[in-house]
Chains A and B, each alone.
Chain A
């Protein structure tokens, strides 16, 4: 079993839709959870990070962590064509090393 599982997609949605991206993880020691956005042939950029369970909101983005079920989510409201990218979840147990999911390719159609 991979430590972090993520559906690779692709996921296509119409402009303005609410997007839900999800990951599961296996190690209960993971404490920090990040979402990165990566455009084609570019490095990943941090969207949000959360610590432990709960929700965190930043503009159109909401990150959610449920440690009891080892499930993390990213919601994008009012999605835009410019949101089309690959979204990577990642965890960090506090040991400096990040573990990434495979990434979900998102396409927002105008």
Chain B
């Protein structure tokens, strides 16, 4: 099956710093990538959808200036949490889809746990 990786798997940073998380599709070209956030014992909440070469589409309530998304190639998307604060601590999960219409299976990465001190 299709494999999606995320790096780093875990990061701890100080309040006010920026953190970049990478999401890569290893064996397929991802025309669309998605970024989710998951709080403990809660479901996945979609933050934004990005298509290669274009600006990300953010969900309502998600600050685009705080969560910068870049989808520079068909295999790589990055999420940068700028000026991180403790309330940004969460589990961030990306997914990727080759998107050919109909059922668009999303393949999920293993997630990145961010802790902001």
CB distance from B28 to the nearest CB of A (A): 15
Of listed A44, A49, A51, A105, residue having the most chain B CB within 10 A: A44
Residue B7 interfacial (CB < 8 Å): no
Known: A42-B111, A44-B93, A96-B97. A49 touches B105 (CB 8 A): yes
Q: Judging by beta carbons under 8 Å apart, are B111 and A43 in contact?
A: yes
Q: Judging by beta carbons under 8 Å apart, are A97 and B46 in contact?
A: yes
Known: A43-B4, A94-B104, A100-B43; 17 extra A-B contacts, CB below 8 A, are A8-B41, A41-B91, A41-B113, A42-B111, A43-B6, A43-B110, A44-B44, A44-B93, A44-B108, A45-B108, A49-B103, A51-B103, A92-B104, A96-B99, A101-B43, A103-B41, A103-B42
Interface residue ranges, B against A (CB under 8 Å): 4, 6, 32, 34, 41-44, 46, 49, 91, 93, 97, 99, 102-111, 113
Please report the total number of A residues contacting B with Cβ < 8 Å: 23
Residues of B within 8 A of A103 (CB): 41-43
Of listed B41, B93, B107, residue having the most chain A CB within 10 A: B41
Known: A8-B41, A103-B43. A42 touches B105 (CB 8 A): no
